């Protein structure tokens, strides 16, 4: 089975090939590209929707599909613009440069030099509008742990972490087979196989206090494209809120584990990795929170409200 990389490479090669061989038989093109004839026909239907920005008929590549269907030959037109060197407007050049800067910030050590080289070349040939007109960065910080874990994944290391959960002083020591470092909303995460849980998990890099190589990683198959954000939060840290109708938006805005409608209100169960986050949520929702289970989960919110009341000279009360 061909990969998406192979598909794109063949499509890019097919256009100049067809321009150099007008009227070529489908069978001959399939033989030259070493793919089935049906694959060439599907490629032609894809090229039919490609071309210059705008998407109007005169902007798109013209494929004579009647000749394809009736005669088994291929003729394309309106593709003369493709061999010409691309000319970028200033806005297009700086948008591309900003994208390259973000990719360089997020890329692993094996990819970053190529991305930085492309950005340098773009600066050299791009239209100059003053010094350094674009500066973009992903808000993930230059954390050296990213490069270390990227190298660990590339070399197939097994590592033991010392990981600190948010709002908790204690640490855990999971044994992990790393596979990649990824960034979500400006934070770097390690994705790997947890030997303790026999499943894929993520760990936030800025909460990893130490990592030691302890052996060689095993093959656990293809990792998922994404892992549940709070998959490592145990059931003991779940909190269920019963919400009034005015707060039902919370179930759509925040990751949940269970949602059920009851006569009393919408019951929403969260995996709570941060007591401070839960306290802020409860305070913000106020009277729209009808019930908290377990009740002790509301303790931090109650403490914060009492402190605010005392600071403003109000009677905080005890209940």
Q: The domain spanning residue 172 has which CATH number? A: 2.30.30
Co-location of 98 and 41 in the same domain: yes
Task: Please determine, for residue 197, whether its predicted confidence score (pLDDT) is greater than 90.
Answer: no
Task: Please determine, for residue 213, whether its predicted confidence score (pLDDT) is greater than 80.
Answer: yes
Indicate whether 83 belongs to any domain.
yes
Q: What share of the chain is helix, strand, coil (3-state, %, to 5)?
A: 40, 25, 35
Task: Please determine, for residue 31, whether its predicted confidence score (pLDDT) is greater than 70.
Answer: yes
Indicate whether 273 belongs to any domain.
yes
Q: Average model confidence (pLDDT) for the chain?
A: 79
Rounded to an integer, the average pLDDT of 71-96 is 74
Co-location of 40 and 121 in the same domain: yes
For residue 190, the 8-state DSSP code is: E
Tens digit of each residue's pLDDT (9 = 90 or more) over 91-125: 777 778 778 777 776 666 667 788 788 888 777 77
- Number of helices (H), then strands (E), belonging to the chain: the values are 10, 14
Co-location of 44 and 109 in the same domain: yes
Co-location of 149 and 207 in the same domain: yes
Residue 250, H or E segment? helix 250-253
Indicate whether 223 belongs to any domain.
no
Please name the residues in contact with 97: beta carbons below 8 A apart, sequence gap of 6 or more: 119, 122, 123, 126, 134, 136
Higher-pLDDT residue of 155 and 2 is 155
Co-location of 9 and 114 in the same domain: yes
The rounded percent of the chain whose pLDDT value lies above 90 is: 11
Confidence of residue 205 (pLDDT cuts 50, 70, 90): confident
Give the range among 60-69, 125-134, 231-240 with minimum mean pLDDT. Answer: 125-134
Confidence of residue 138 (pLDDT cuts 50, 70, 90): low
Co-location of 165 and 53 in the same domain: no
For residue 286, the 8-state DSSP code is: G
pLDDT for 215 = 92
Indicate whether 136 belongs to any domain.
no
Co-location of 190 and 162 in the same domain: yes
pLDDT for 316 = 56
Confidence of residue 140 (pLDDT cuts 50, 70, 90): very low
Co-location of 119 and 164 in the same domain: no
Task: Please determine, for residue 244, whether its predicted confidence score (pLDDT) is greater than 50.
Answer: yes
Residue 319 half-sphere exposure toward CB, CA atoms < 13 A: 0
Indicate whether 137 belongs to any domain.
no
Co-location of 81 and 107 in the same domain: yes
Indicate whether 138 belongs to any domain.
no
Co-location of 202 and 270 in the same domain: no
Task: Give the structural domain span for 205.
Answer: 144-216
Co-location of 203 and 300 in the same domain: no
Count of domains for the chain: 3
pLDDT for 169 = 67
Confidence of residue 234 (pLDDT cuts 50, 70, 90): low
Co-location of 36 and 77 in the same domain: yes
Confidence of residue 176 (pLDDT cuts 50, 70, 90): very high
């Amino acid at each position: 089975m061909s990969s998406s990389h192979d598909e794109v490479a063949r499509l890019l090669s097919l256009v100049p090939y067809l321009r150099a061989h007008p009227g070529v038989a489908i069978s001959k093109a399939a033989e030259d590209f070493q793919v089935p004839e049906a694959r060439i026909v599907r490629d032609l239907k894809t090229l039919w929707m490609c071309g210059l920005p705008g998407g109007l008929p005169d902007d798109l590549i013209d494929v004579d599909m009647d000749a394809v269907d009736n005669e088994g030959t291929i003729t394309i037109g309106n593709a003369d613009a493709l061999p010409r060197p691309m000319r970028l407007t200033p806005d297009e050049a700086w948008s591309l440069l900003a994208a390259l800067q973000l990719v360089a910030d997020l890329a692993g050590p094996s990819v970053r030099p190529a991305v930085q080289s492309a950005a340098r070349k773009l600066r050299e040939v791009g239209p100059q509008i003053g010094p350094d007109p674009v500066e973009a960065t992903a808000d993930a910080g230059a954390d050296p742990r990213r490069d270390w874990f990227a190298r660990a994944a590339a070399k197939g290391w097994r590592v033991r972490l010392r990981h600190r959960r948010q709002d908790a002083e204690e640490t855990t020591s999971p044994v992990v087979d790393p596979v990649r470092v990824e960034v979500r909303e400006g934070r770097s995460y390690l994705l790997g196989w947890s030997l303790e849980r026999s499943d894929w998990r993520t760990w936030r890099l800025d909460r990893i206090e130490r990592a030691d190589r302890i052996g060689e990683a095993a093959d656990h198959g293809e990792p998922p494209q994404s892992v549940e954000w709070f998959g490592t939060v145990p059931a003991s840290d779940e909190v269920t809120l019963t919400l009034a109708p005015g707060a039902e938006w919370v179930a759509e805005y925040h990751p949940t584990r269970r949602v059920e409608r009851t006569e009393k209100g919408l019951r929403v169960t969260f995996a709570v990795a941060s007591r401070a986050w839960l306290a802020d949520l409860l305070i913000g929702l106020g009277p729209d929170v009808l019930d908290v289970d377990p009740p002790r989960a509301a303790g931090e919110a109650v403490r914060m409200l009492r402190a605010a009341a005392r600071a403003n000279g109000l009677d905080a009360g005890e209940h």
